[in-house]
Amino acid sequence: MSLEKQVLEKLSLFKDNWPMLKNNLRIRERKDKIISEISLELLKEVRKIKEESIENLEQNIERLRRALEERGAELKIARDGLEASKMVLEVCKQYGVKLVVKSKSLTTEEIELNKVLESENIKVIETDLGERIVQLAGQKPSHILGPAFHMTRKEVAEIFTEYYGRPIPPDPQQIVLEVRREFRENYQKAGMAITGANFIIADNGAMVLVTNEGNDRLALAFAPIHVVIAGVEKILSSTRDVLKILKILPRNATGQRLSTYVSFHLPTMTSYPREARLNARKTIYILIDNGRMKARQDEEIKEILYCIRCASCLQVCPPYNMVGGHVFGYIYSGPMGIPWTMITHGLEKTYFSQLCNTCGLCREACPLDINLPYINSIVKERYGKRFGYPALNKILKRYESLITLASRTPKLSNKLLNSNSARKIIEKFIGIDSRRPLPRFLEKNLGEIFTELGSPEKGNVILFTDSLIYYMYPDWAVKAAKILSSLGYRVIIPSLKSCGMPLIQYGFMDDARRIAEYNVECLYNLIKQGYVVVSLEPTAQECLTNYYPKLLETEKARTVAENSYGYFEFLKKIGWRDVRRILKSIEGVHVTYHLPCHSRARDGSIVVKEFLEALGAKVYFKRLGCCGLAGTWGMKKNGHGYDISIEIGRYLVGEYEKLGGEFIVTECSICLQQFQHVSTLPIRHPLQLVQLASIE
């Protein structure tokens, strides 16, 4: 089934229910209460721990080998999943194992171990309840922490009713009691327990599991053989390193200060008495490479190996929360699943990366600051170069040429954009969904009505507007320039290309690099003359500060990033007192504010909210994430374009309309278009709300 059909099927199934989103929102609500307890210093320290553990991986493997051998355990390194599965199968045959109990091992899903064991008539019981549910349903996990997040209690009850052959009510407590009885019997009969590992300690050979069910403890209490299956990147140097990561993992994963069970298992432990005597448990660690060592040498994606599997990126990813991991994933799902799928299963399995809309919320949520949006664009680039870019994306990469061409005949362009028949033709040949309203071109673009304004009493500003403002909302830029001029700045708008985000979004990184080089060269020369860059579009600012330095890796790009500000961030830098002095009060205005994905101030503040409040407005705000449009991504005619975009937007608007504002305010022209389409409330740009005090 094509990706488009999969998306449409899930959207139809989940419509107005959104089980993935609701589960993740519950976790986010718990996180919001305690996440501030984690210091920035600790996050940086944990990132350093992971960097060093990957850098010193070979040495740590040998240290672990010595520690395990001293305790009578074995260490095996598997090149890939097939070799790892054969190793497990050999142990089962050697010791006559016919029943295996498993606990918390996503890596065994990666290598599809169950299929191999079951093909040899070895029964495998998943003891994590979520894993057991999807096992009986014949499905893959849809979430790395909540494998059955996509199911309702009614669906779960139906699965167990069929399995047990008697009615099981859709009552979570009753379901747990039924499963517990079965599990306890299997624990006592199993000849082998297989677990994963959140961490493995090189110093002493301990493996660490973080769970809320504790099934690993009961499984290992009885099983005479324990096989640990984990990726080689799970090795850390010391217990001290593990304890530091444990301060951030549960908080980010489930919103708990500490999970219900945190287990440190040493190979020297014994199993429960059988035949009236304690038995030394045989322990085998099978660590899997499966592409990890190659990824370790790949500078563009290497940092994904720092991932601690907290699932924070899945919690905030808008497309993932609409369709779930069975569509947005292979084995690993969500934003982190894109590079992990490439590493462990091959580039050909990453077509679902087209669902990533490059909103950047995954990086913002990641406690280790892994640059997932950039890495995922690299995966899209590699997929496109090897297997071909989607035809629609290849057309939309020429977005700037299309906009420039249309702007030359604005009356004709607007007439065509309002014609149903013309829109159907545009949908067929360009790929913009005919249901998506598009903004109107003005008679004159910004370059025709503005050159420069003001005197440099306090400084010189380059106003970077990007394409939509330049051609469709030039009055915003003029007002922005007048405000800066009234504050004592000279403002110019030089000839620049658009920021290039659609190219980055679709993985056309070579084209994006050429745009970045052009813009950086122009801006760098002006910065050297004493200018600062002020971006009116949040996405343009994101490109200047995040993507251009990554794409170019030059001192010029870093200089431009250091001297670039978002427009309202720059106003805050000037000072709200000065801003209040030149702008009229908007006291008595009640607004609901939407924070665009790429609107990030250096100090972490929500600057537009502060701007509006400084002028007297009452601002209602709830951090909900991406509006869903994401530029041309949400305009595309396929199911994973317009249709999924509208579902994301519908949910957000439903929440915003409950807050109480007279209208929705956002500083992003793309978000503004989305809300104009899906909301009954009026939509405004912040600059549309304000007037200079000198204007009567």
What pTM did the predictor assign? 0.94
CB 68 within 8 A of CB 201: no
Note whether residue 167 is domain-resident: yes
Task: Examine the domain organization and report whether 217 and 156 are in the same domain.
Answer: yes
Task: Examine the domain organization and report whether 536 and 638 are in the same domain.
Answer: no
- Please report which confidence band the pLDDT of residue 275 belongs to, taking 50, 70 and 90 as the band edges: low
Beta bridge partners of 126: 102
Amino acid (one-letter) located at 271:
S
- CA 228, 233, 237, 240 dihedral sign is negative
Amino acid (one-letter) located at 1:
M
> What pLDDT is attached to residue 53?
97
Res 443 pLDDT > 90: no
DSSP annotation of 97 reads -
Q: State mean pLDDT over 363-388.
A: 97
Note whether residue 389 is domain-resident: no
Res 360 pLDDT > 60: yes
Residue of higher predicted confidence among 180 and 244: 244
Share of the chain above pLDDT 90, in %: 77
User: For residue range 169-192, what is the model confidence (pLDDT) as tens digits?
Assistant: 988 888 888 888 888 889 889 999
Question: Taking Cα atoms as reference points, which of 403, 427, 336 lies closest to residue 375?
Answer: 336
Q: What CATH code is carried by the domain that includes residue 691?
A: 3.40.50
Res 135 pLDDT > 60: yes
Question: Taking Cα atoms as reference points, which of 313, 338, 321 lies closest to residue 252?
Answer: 313
Can you give the C-alpha Rg of the chain in angstroms? Answer: 28
Task: Examine the domain organization and report whether 58 and 183 are in the same domain.
Answer: yes
Domain that holds residue 446: 442-574
Note whether residue 656 is domain-resident: yes
CB 322 within 8 A of CB 11: yes
Q: State mean pLDDT over 249-264.
A: 92
- By CB atoms closer than 10 A (0-12, 13-18, 19+), residue 492 is middle
What's the CA gap between 300 and 502, in Å, rounded? 20
**Could you tell me where the DSSP H helices lie in 274-419?**
292-296, 312-316, 318-323, 334-345, 361-365, 372-387, 391-396, 399-407, 410-417
Res 516 pLDDT > 80: yes
Q: What CATH code is carried by the domain that includes residue 144?
A: 3.40.50.10420
Note whether residue 199 is domain-resident: yes
Res 609 pLDDT > 80: yes
Task: Examine the domain organization and report whether 647 and 582 are in the same domain.
Answer: yes
What's the CA gap between 290 and 384, in Å, rounded? 23
Q: Which of residues 244, 267, 290 is at a domain's end?
A: 290
Note whether residue 296 is domain-resident: no
Amino acid (one-letter) located at 606:
I
Task: Examine the domain organization and report whether 156 and 278 are in the same domain.
Answer: yes
- Please report which confidence band the pLDDT of residue 277 belongs to, taking 50, 70 and 90 as the band edges: low
> What pLDDT is attached to residue 418?
86
Q: Mean pLDDT, the chain, as a whole number?
A: 93
Which two tokens mark 16?
């107005």
Residue 436 CB partners (closer than 8 Å, separation 6+): 634, 635, 642, 677
Note whether residue 76 is domain-resident: yes
Task: Examine the domain organization and report whether 543 and 667 are in the same domain.
Answer: no
- By CB atoms closer than 10 A (0-12, 13-18, 19+), residue 447 is middle
Q: Which of residues 269, 290, 311 is at a domain's end?
A: 290
> What pLDDT is attached to residue 478?
95
User: For residue range 522-553, what is the model confidence (pLDDT) as tens digits?
Assistant: 999 999 999 999 999 999 999 999 999 999 99
Amino acid (one-letter) located at 669:
S
Question: Taking Cα atoms as reference points, which of 392, 482, 475, 476 lies closest to residue 429?
Answer: 392
Task: Examine the domain organization and report whether 657 and 581 are in the same domain.
Answer: yes
> What pLDDT is attached to residue 20?
87
Res 274 pLDDT > 60: no
Q: State mean pLDDT over 566-587.
A: 96
Task: Examine the domain organization and report whether 518 and 589 are in the same domain.
Answer: no
- Please report which confidence band the pLDDT of residue 558 belongs to, taking 50, 70 and 90 as the band edges: very high
- Please report which confidence band the pLDDT of residue 479 belongs to, taking 50, 70 and 90 as the band edges: very high
Note whether residue 402 is domain-resident: no
- CA 53, 54, 55, 56 dihedral sign is positive
**DSSP string of 659-695?**
T--SEEE-S-HHHHHHHHHH-SS-EE-GGGS--BTT-
Residue of higher predicted confidence among 576 and 149: 576
How many structural domains are present in the chain?
Answer: 3
Note whether residue 183 is domain-resident: yes
Which two tokens mark 381?
């680039």
- Please report which confidence band the pLDDT of residue 696 belongs to, taking 50, 70 and 90 as the band edges: very low
Task: Examine the domain organization and report whether 587 and 565 are in the same domain.
Answer: no
> What pLDDT is attached to residue 600?
86
Highest mean pLDDT among 141-155, 226-240, 401-415: 226-240
Reduced to 3 states, what is the DSSP secondary structure of residue 464? strand
* Chain CA centroid to CA 412, Å: 40
What's the CA gap between 353 and 349, in Å, rounded? 9
Res 296 pLDDT > 90: yes
Reduced to 3 states, what is the DSSP secondary structure of residue 18? coil
Task: Examine the domain organization and report whether 570 and 587 are in the same domain.
Answer: no
Q: State mean pLDDT over 193-220.
A: 93
> What pLDDT is attached to residue 324?
93
Res 278 pLDDT > 60: no
Task: Examine the domain organization and report whether 625 and 562 are in the same domain.
Answer: no
Task: Examine the domain organization and report whether 144 and 238 are in the same domain.
Answer: yes
CB 373 within 8 A of CB 379: no
Q: Which of residues 528, 552, 574 is at a domain's end?
A: 574
> What pLDDT is attached to residue 307?
97
> What pLDDT is attached to residue 152?
86
